[in-house]
Amino acid sequence: MKLSQARRDFYRKKAKLEGYKSRAAYKLIELVKKYGLIKAGDHVIDFGCAPGGWLQVASKYVGADGKVFGFDLKSVSISLSNVLTYVLDITSPDALNFVKERLLREADVVLSDLSPNISGIWEVDHAKQIDLTLKVVEMIPHILKPGGNCLLKVFQGPNLDTVRKALNMMFEKVYLTKPSASRKESSELYFVCLSYFG
Ligand SMILES: C[S@@+](CC[C@H](N)C(=O)[O-])C[C@H]1O[C@@H](n2cnc3c(N)ncnc32)[C@H](O)[C@@H]1O
């Protein structure tokens, strides 16, 4: 068995044992521990939230005084008192209004683990994934409070710089990182963005 396969199996088994809906949960745990992205009492938006691993992790960090709002094409079955989930296509023209109407106030944190259906054609998948990410970037001024944080998945490729440039204008600190729970052979990376200028 290849090392990468063994690692994937390790996180899959760990997620099953610890009751997480996806091994993606460990990517968020690692990044929150390292960068302090989410605090107790925060309101968090999670784009591309299905099947719900990140929702479970965010729910623990925000605690009883916080709220997590999840959006995805697919419905999510999760019953946590501080988590609300909605079916939404983020590319639909009324997506921003739909999200704004569900929030109780501007969010402290925006998360995006959005990923298109993978075709296997790298250039196509990269372009589609970056388009989804840019939808989130466009929404940030309308949904994130000044001083807020953001975590965005991106697929590596030439269009990544468009995202980086936009984020550099919007946040005090921007890091590009690959958590150890992310498969080595996958082209995904994460932008960790701290302190939105507003
Ligand atoms: C890698 S999964 C997210 C895993 C999740 N973070 C977790 O912890 O369980 C990516 C998600 O992006 C969603 N997605 C893809 N395109 C979307 C779109 N246009 N609007 C909303 N969600 C979308 C998919 O349905 C999929 O559930």
Please work out whether the CB of residue 70 comes within 6 Å of at least one atom of ligand 1: no
Instruction: Calculate mean pLDDT across residues 154-172.
Output: 97
Token code pair at residue 93: 């023209």
Residue 193's closest CA among 165, 177, 172, 178? 172
Please give the tally of structural domains in the chain.
1
Domain that holds residue 155: 3-196
- Please tell me the distance between residue 123's alpha carbon and the centre of ligand 1 in angstroms: 19
In this predicted structure, what is the pLDDT of residue 4?
66
> Is residue 53 lining ligand 1, measured as CB closer than 6 Å?
yes
Kindly report the backbone phi and psi dihedral angles of residue 79, in degrees, each rounded to the nearest multiple of 5, phi listed first. -125, 90
Using CA atoms, how far residue 42 sits from 87, 105, 115, in Å, is 22, 11, 25
In short, whether 110's Cβ falls inside 6 Å of ligand 1 is: no
pLDDT of amino acid 8: 74
Assign residue 90 the CATH number of its domain: 3.40.50.150
Gap from CA of 114 to ligand 1 centroid (Å): 4
CA distance 4 to 182: 10
Sort strands 67-72 and 144-155 into parallel, antiparallel or unpaired.
unpaired
**pLDDT (tens digit per residue) in 16-58:** 899 999 999 999 999 999 999 999 999 999 999 999 999 999 9
Mind listing the pLDDT tens digit for each residue in 96-132? Answer: 999 999 999 999 999 999 999 999 999 999 999 999 9
> How remote is the CA of residue 28 from the centroid of ligand 1, in Å?
14
* Closest ligand 1 atom number to CA of residue 90: 20
